[in-house]
Structure 1
Amino acid sequence: MFIKKGLLAATILSVSCSTALFAHEHHQDEMCGETKLHGYMMDIKNELRAMSSDIKSGDNSAAAERIDSLIASLEQSRNETPYQLKAEKLKGEALATQQKEYVRIIDGTIDVFKNLEQALLSGDSAGIKKWLGEMGSQRQQGHGAFKANC
């Protein structure tokens, strides 16, 4: 089974190198400094890079093993508040609504990773490509809604 490894690797690398998946916080001021959410997003970025290497080398089972760590970081991220929501100084119902949307995107990404894991374990090249594309879409949603420039 030959996957177009160059294209697949480029897709993974572009997703993993584009400032992590969601509300990745920058380091320019104290609100944007080192936070738990930033740490989780950096963990995700590092795991995605490693997963990319695994897939490039044809080791789908090793790539699939990384998904547990990715999901754990996403689950921990659920309880954090993205910088964008802090910067907008949202309170009450507005904050609750945006926080629910943030969690919805996190949960959607977890589902994508679970599907990617199944595709990796079954050697489903088309599925791997599909779920990597979905991963990129989730990243765009998260960044579009919750990433702020500090």
Structure 2
Amino acid sequence: MNKGFIAAAILSLSCSSAVFANQSCDESPLRGYMGNIANEMRSMSTDIKSGDHDAAAQRVETLITYFEKAQGETPYKFKVENLQGESLAVQQAKYEKVVDDTIAVLENLEGALQSGSSSDVRKWLGEIGVQRNIGHGAFRVNC
């Protein structure tokens, strides 16, 4: 019985340590914005597939708002890597550029949705995927 208790205690502590170690990442405003962005992207995709371009354009406005809020945040990866001074400034500028570029793509998508051009909508959705890959590849850390 003692061996089972000790094993359970060790397992419990190791799992809780991982949770506590990641707590600041899970609670960051940026992580919250990115979660909201993911949800809005899924909903926007559903709107586009159903042909409701007006609803999709409204979601684009919401996405732009979340990206604008996210732009003022510092990615957790920079804290994990303990970036400071010039290296932090350089990486923060790169992050802000990716966010600016993504907002520009979203604005183009919104125009395509409003014009009803399916080929342009597909083009800009592809560009959103490119921006996502750039951002996640450079600034995302798995918590």
Aligned to 2:41: 48
Does residue 58 of the first structure (1) align with residue 44 of the second (2)?
no
* Coordinate RMSD, CA, aligned: 1.5
Identity between Structure 1 and Structure 2 (%): 53
- Give the deviation of 1:142 after TM superposition: 0.3
Greater relative contact order (Cα < 8 A, sep 6+): 1
Does structure 2 conserve the Cα–Cα contact (< 8 Å) formed by 1:27 and 1:33?
no
Aligned to 1:99: 92
- Give the deviation of 1:27 after TM superposition: 8.7
Q: How many pairs does the alignment contain?
A: 125
Aligned to 2:77: 84
- 1:1-150 matches, within 5 Å, as 29-150=22-143
Point out the structure with max Rg over C-alpha: 2
Does structure 2 conserve the Cα–Cα contact (< 8 Å) formed by 1:27 and 1:34?
no
List structure 1 runs of 4+ shifted beyond 6 angstroms.
Answer: none
TM-score (norm 2): 0.83
- For 2:42 and 2:20, the matched residues in 1 are separated by 22
Amino acid in structure 1 at the alignment position of 2:99: I
Q: Which runs of 5+ in 2 are unaligned?
A: 1-18
Alpha-carbon distance change, 28 to 112 in structure 1, aligned in 2, over 3 angstroms = farther
Alpha-carbon distance change, 28 to 132 in structure 1, aligned in 2, over 3 angstroms = farther
- Give the deviation of 1:35 after TM superposition: 1.2
